[in-house]
Structure 1
Amino acid sequence: MIHDNVILSYTVDLQNEQIVIHTRDQSSLKEVDIVLKEVSCHHFEHQLKGSIVLAMTVSNISSFIAGNIEILQNGKNHGWPTAYETLDELEQKLTESGYKYFNLYSSYGMNGWIVAKDLEVVKKGEEE
């Protein structure tokens, strides 16, 4: 439902722990939002006009830890993504709290990851 969608914009709502990636389905020209809920942390790269979504995948928190050791070490003394002593403790905290590791892959442009509890794809005009 989001493959080959063009990213129009994204909103990071820190207060409500939510990220919304606004996209357009190029075949139907309808807008589709990728809504990530109860976000702990995120990291995006290569944001540019015309970015195209390849896929959004979900992995476990151990994959998040293993793939981001350097960025976690750099953020640890700033309380990011949360207070913790060891990476094992961080993994346990995030896993027990129900977090998942979402990866945004692109065929062009913006890519990255989000640690959140839930993801919902919402076609505009079909919201409840």
Structure 2
Amino acid sequence: MSNVHDNEILSYEINLKQNKIVIHTEYIIPNKTENTTIFFYDVLAHFFDTQLPGSIILDIDTYDIHHFITDNKELLEKHKNYSWPMDYTTIDELEGKLIQEQYKYFIISSSYGLSGWVLAKKYEINVIEM
């Protein structure tokens, strides 16, 4: 997959009906511009923070579901009674369901601006050089 380090986020779309997130980015170097689109498919949940014009991606890393549970335990407890991110009785049950359904935990870290995470089954990156 292509490197998204230092790409500026131009926009993003969250399609709740299709369970898809699309992030449009741009990377400019002398004599060349790369327009990169990042697709997250089969999205179950996401959290974006500190959206700012000119947000710069540091990296997108993939972690296992155990890290998702550990990193978001307070958030999961808070929203459990609202069936978020899905209906479950215990945190262990949720972890088992997420693993069985093959979800992954993608963390978007930033040099500046938008950061957050996406819980989805896969992602891909498409680069167009101009």
Instruction: Tell me if both proteins adopt one fold, taking TM over 0.5 as the criterion.
Output: yes
More strand by share: 2
Matched, 1:83 2:92: no
Counterpart in the other structure of 1:58 = 62
Report what 2:101 is aligned to.
97
Query: Counterpart in 2 of 1:29?
Result: 33
Q: Give the aligned residue type for 2:58.
A: L
Q: Secondary structure at the match of 1:105?
A: strand
Residue 112 of structure 1 aligns with which residue? 116
- Tell me how far apart the structure 2 counterparts of residues 29 and 84 of structure 1 sit (CA, whole Å): 45
**C-alpha contact (below 8 Å) 1:53/1:106 kept by paired residues:** yes
Superposed CA offset, 1:69-95 (max 9, x none): 111111111111000000000000000
Unaligned runs of 5+ in 1: none
Query: Which amino acid is the alignment partner of residue 73 of structure 2?
Result: I
Q: Paired residue for 1:8, among 3, 7, 10?
A: 10
Instruction: Report how far residue 30 of structure 1 moved.
Output: 2.3
**Shift in Å, 1:107:** 0.4
Give the 4+ runs in structure 1 shifted more than 6 A.
none
Q: Which amino acid aligns with 1:70?
A: E
Secondary structure in 2 matching 1:91: helix
CA distance in 2, matches of 1:103, 1:110: 11
What is the percent sequence identity of the aligned residues? 43
Return the TM-score normalized by structure 1.
0.94
